[in-house]
Structure 1
């Protein structure tokens, strides 16, 4: 299944500056594994050492936050848009 993955500015060094890439997979886990295979190192910036989504990274499938769905096991429909959004802190 082909999906679109929006890459935040901070991670675009892995995608040679490209803001949106094509991904594949039936679940978010599958899509992220393929993304890391295509753009080595990007997976380590999204997932922690235990394989979970990093605390300050939000991932959406369409408009749904995967933390309130099935997390990495969230089903990805054909043509979906996945957005990776790092949290921004300020004072």
Structure 2
């Protein structure tokens, strides 16, 4: 199944400057999408995932506009044609 991954400006250099890429994710979860992404653009996933295989604290991942932190995390299902969006967290006061 083909999934679109939208990338923020900070990650685009690790994906050849592209604002979005498509990947084939057989398993149908965010984990599978990131695994497929790592196969093509390891530099992107290195900045999204920590050494324990979790999404980094200051990174948010959305599936069709819904934050996976409030769904099933990396186990959140994605469907054909879904868009996974990676967004760096913004903090401040």
Name the TM-score, length of structure 1 as normaliser.
0.93
Is structure 2 residue 11 aligned with structure 1 residue 11? yes
Q: Which sections of structure 1, spanning at least 5 residues, go unmatched?
A: none
Cα RMSD after superposing both structures = 1.1
**Cα deviation per residue 1:13-62 (whole Å; 9 max; x = unaligned)?**
11111001002221100100110110122211000111000000000000
Equivalents in 2 of 1:13, 1:90: separation in Å?
A: 25
1:78-89 mapped onto 2 (5 Å cutoff):
78-89=80-91
The answer for the alignment partner of 2:46 in structure 1 is 44
Large movers: runs of 4+ above 2 Å: 88-91
Aligned residues: 91
Equivalents in 1 of 2:62, 2:86: separation in Å?
A: 7
Name the TM-score, length of structure 2 as normaliser.
0.92
Instruction: Give the secondary structure class of the aligned counterpart of 1:9.
Output: coil
The answer for the alignment partner of 1:66 in structure 2 is 68
Equivalents in 1 of 2:76, 2:92: separation in Å?
A: 30
The answer for the alignment partner of 1:35 in structure 2 is 37
